[in-house]
Amino acid sequence: MAFGRSSHRPRPVSPVTLKLLVAGGFGVGKTTLVGAVSEIRPLRTEETLSEAGRPVDDVDGVEGKTTTTVAMDFGRITLREDLVLYLFGTPGQDRFWFLWDELAQGALGAVVLADTRRLADSFAAVDYFERRGIPFTVAVNCFEGADRFPAETVRAALDLDPEVPLMMCDARDRESVKEVLVAVVEHALNRATLLREPAVN
């Protein structure tokens, strides 16, 4: 047996990988958010808006939008050496919602991206995650030219439960998006801890 300093180096840490969804209405900035924070080139499934889709694609308030996500956006970010997030952006239009159930499988939590110009478009995503018991955080994308409202006003308009985090963000800014993702992970883990704790008689 040899004495002295061991020549064995510590084994590298295998990172925990978590799946998060990025959801919200049409044109709210989901593709932009995933692209802003992803450390790999994001996978995008965008198609050009066509005349055929005009009757079903409501572009009121987002008239400059020329493309739409038809399946998903995908990106990855390493928050710490031992924590990697996989981001799946959902399509925003009603006709692609059948994909949400597939994308939601195995998700730890979700971001519901909201636009104060079209706040009603967020209801479907909020309702989806509430009904399935998936923890989520609402992130209000602060577009240039959009009206700004206090967080409590937005919370009341969306009829959110008090424990649902709500924050302002800029979907184009990496640090702003990272703060949102950290909030989602913390909220999901806190809720999982509460569910595991035995009820006090």
pLDDT surpasses 90 at 176: yes
pLDDT surpasses 90 at 20: yes
pLDDT surpasses 80 at 199: no
User: How does the average pLDDT of the chain come out, rounded?
Assistant: 83
Q: Could you tell me whether strands 16-24 and 43-48 are parallel, antiparallel, or unpaired per DSSP bridges?
A: unpaired
pLDDT surpasses 60 at 68: no
Q: At what angle do helices 30-37 and 174-196 cross, to 10 degrees?
A: 100
What contacts 60, CB < 8 A, 6 or more positions away? 118
pLDDT surpasses 60 at 35: yes
Domains, the chain, ordered by start: 20-195 (3.40.50.300)
Rounded percentage of the chain residues whose pLDDT exceeds 70: 75
pLDDT digits (tens, 9 = 90+) for 182-194: 999 999 999 999 8
- Angstrom distance (rounded) from CA 23 to CA 128: 10
- Angstrom distance (rounded) from CA 130 to CA 13: 34
- Angstrom distance (rounded) from CA 64 to CA 70: 18
Cα–chain center distance at 67: 20
